[in-house]
């Protein structure tokens, strides 16, 4: 059983993923960290001031772990991951004013700030998720306040328990 959490940068994917992993015993993988550690890049984007992910190498790197299951994958995009990898996909959503403050404190340049806010406004990542996976496995969760984080963790843990029951009987 694997699940995936796409969403605009700054919506709380990493906080949620780590919290879920510690409470569920599932393995947590942050694709950005993995790419940094293994140097899974294909050049550098000057405009956004960041390295370009080599998506094929990321998929190769993760494939064995994903086959074993029990993995939480954290990344802001999802269209290049094989559909067979995931049983459920959670897209985190944040109000743009909250998101702007979070990204500003990360020191994003103006272009990166504007593009990520627009990405959230136009639900780009939710649409990418529904285009990449069966619509019934894609769920949106609000991620503005600490109590929403706790709520999301509880909701996903309940889903995990139910999935395990349904598949181990």
Q: Show binding-site residues for ATP.
A: 10, 12-15, 106, 145
Binding-site annotation, residues: 10, 12-15, 106, 145
The answer to whether 71 touches 65, Cβ cutoff 8 Å, is yes
* Phi, psi (rounded to 5 degrees) for 119: -55, -45
> 27 pairs with which residues across the strands?
71
Distance CA 77, CA 137 (A): 16
Distance CA 150, CA 153 (A): 5
DSSP H or E segment with residue 164: helix 146-167
DSSP H or E segment with residue 68: helix 55-68
DSSP H or E segment with residue 47: none
Whole-number Cα distances in Å, 33 to 24, 38, 39, 74, 114: 21, 9, 10, 10, 24
């Amino acid at each position: 059983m694997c699940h995936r959490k796409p969403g605009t940068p700054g919506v709380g994917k990493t906080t949620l993923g780590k919290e879920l992993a510690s409470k569920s015993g599932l393995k947590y993988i942050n694709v950005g960290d993995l790419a940094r550690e293994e140097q899974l890049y294909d050049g550098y984007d000057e405009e956004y001031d960041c390295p370009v992910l080599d998506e094929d190498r990321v998929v190769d790197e993760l494939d064995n772990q994903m086959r074993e299951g029990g993995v939480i994958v954290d990344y802001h995009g999802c269209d290049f991951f094989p559909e067979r990898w995931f049983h459920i996909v959670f897209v985190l959503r944040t109000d743009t004013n909250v998101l702007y403050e979070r990204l500003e404190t990360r020191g994003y340049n103006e272009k990166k700030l504007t593009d990520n806010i627009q990405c959230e406004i136009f639900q780009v990542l939710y649409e990418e998720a529904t285009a990449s996976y069966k619509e019934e496995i894609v769920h949106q969760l609000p991620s503005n306040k600490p109590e929403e984080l706790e709520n999301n963790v509880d909701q996903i843990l309940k889903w995990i328990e139910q999935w395990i029951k349904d598949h181990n009987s």
